[in-house]
Amino acid sequence: MLEKGKISAVQLAYVVFILITSLSVIFVPAQPAKHLAWLALLGALGEGLLFFYVCTTLAQKFPDKTLIGINDAVFGPLLGKLVSLAFLWYFIQIASYNLRAIADFFATLFPETPIVVFLLFLVLTSASAVRNGIEVIARCSVLIVPLLIFNYLFDDILLIKDMDFSSLLPLGDVPLTDFLKSVHAINSVQYGETVVLLMVYPFLSNIKKARVSVAAFIIAAALMAGSAARNTAVLGSLGPITTYTTFQTIRVINIGEFLTRLEILIAVAFIFMAFIKISVFYYASVLGLAQLLKLRTYLPLVLPSAVLITVFSIINFTSAIEAMHFTSETYPYYSLPFQIGLPLFTLVIAKVRGLPGKKKGLSP
């Protein structure tokens, strides 16, 4: 067994929460939806839950297999490995996109520091978590989530006096196609990425409880929508031109000239969230590769992968603008086959072939 740890369904829910809320702390690909970003976030919840349902159904059909094992079983040894390889590439790319995203954010705050510094600090921290296994990552999530929720609510309350709710009107005025584009883009970045958990489900102590994470979906959606609405109410027409909306919104907080400059809390929260997200995808890639090649341990792969992820982060995008453009324009389509296309297809083929059969053994 490559991974000896076991996590509870509740711990998984915490991880899901962080996966979903991650980037939204600073940047939500909701440009076309403008002031209806909060509504788009709620709409994406629907799409996300649908994707989640498909993935968990697939996982429950093969309770002891990770995605690699499932692909082998459903598509046969050769084709299955190709599909798995595609997924592994996808996961490692996501790890590098996220790494680049947070590094860009900090580079905006500290412009002279070469981006490599941020990249390395973050990826090496993740590497240490990945080496320790999924249990550690899950436990870290449990610690981090309360901080995040506190942050969301605390900031919402402190900004009440700066909000202009009329900025949220009118409820129309955004063309439907633009709105739907936004909904889908949000889903692909926030909710849909939970497909990676197909690598993690086998380590649940009770696979049937996987859907407990739906609670995480709903709470995360509520908090994110609330925060998007708050950003619109505070920044008004400045919102659409602002690169990091939540950050600028928090900067506005000024209670009695005393509670100011709270934006640092957001930056710190973001570090934690990025850490977990990168670790999860990093872990999935490394574990997956080890499974694919039938290795006895994934540990030796961790460190070189760290370097690879960093290299990808650097070469993928030459500027932050390119990265954001990619996230809102290309990624929603690129991710489609991985988040729903293949899982759905796999599920259908599995049903057609009557899998899993009567043979139930412990396979990696």
Partner 1 sequence: MNTLLRYAALTAAIFLILSASAGCWSRRELNDISIVAGTALDKTNDPDIFRITAQIIRPANIGTPGRGSGRGQEKVFLNVSETGTETFEIIRKMARKVSRRLYWSHNEALIIGEALAREGVRKHLDFFYRDNETRLNVMVFVARGEAANTLSPSAQLESIPAYDLYRLSKIQAVNSLSPNVDLRDFLQTLLSKTTSAVLPVIELIEQEGETGLAITGAVAFKGDKIIGELTPDEIRGYLWITNKVQSGIILIDCPAGEGAASLEIIRSSASITPEIKDGILQFTVKVREEGLLGSQNCPLDLTEPETWSALEKKQRDAIYKEISLALKKAQELNTDIFGFGNKVYRRYPSVWKNIEQDWDSIFPGLEVTIEIQSRLRRSGEITRTIVPE
Partner 2 sequence: MIALVILAFSLAVIPETLSLIKKKYWRELAVFAAIYLAAFISSVLLTLGYELPSPAKGTESLIKWVFSLFT
- C-alpha dihedral sign at 246, 247, 250, 254: negative
Binding of partner 2 by 4 (CB under 8 A): no
Binding of partner 1 by 110 (CB under 8 A): yes
Count of beta carbons in the 10 Å neighbourhood of residue 1: 10
Residue span binding partner 1 (CB under 8 A) among the ranges 9-17, 76-84, 214-222, 265-273: 265-273
Binding of partner 1 by 9 (CB under 8 A): no
Contact 22, 151 (CB under 8 A): no
Chosen from partner 1, partner 2, none, partner binding at 341 (C-beta under 5 to 8 Å by type): none
Residues in the chain, how many? 364
CB of 25 to partner 1, least distance (A): 14
Count of beta carbons in the 10 Å neighbourhood of residue 347: 18
- Helices and strands of the chain, counted as H and E runs: 15, 0
Binding of partner 2 by 312 (CB under 8 A): yes
Rounded to whole angstroms, what are the CA distances from 136 to 15, 234, 283? 11, 38, 11
Binding of partner 1 by 319 (CB under 8 A): no
Looking at residues 136 to 195 of the shown chain, list those that interact with partner 1 (rule: CB under 8 A).
139-140, 143, 166, 169-170, 172-173
Instruction: Give the Cα separation of 320 and 27 in Å (integer).
Output: 12
DSSP-assigned beta bridge partners for residue 204: 7
CB of 69 to partner 2, least distance (A): 18
The count of chain residues that interact with partner 1, using the rule CB under 8 A, is 34
Binding of partner 1 by 268 (CB under 8 A): yes
Binding of partner 2 by 341 (CB under 8 A): no
Least Cα distance to 283 among 215, 357, 197 occurs for 197
Contact footprint for partner 1 (CB under 8 A): 106, 108-114, 117, 121, 125, 139-140, 143, 166, 169-170, 172-173, 235-238, 241-242, 248, 251-252, 254, 260-261, 268, 271-272
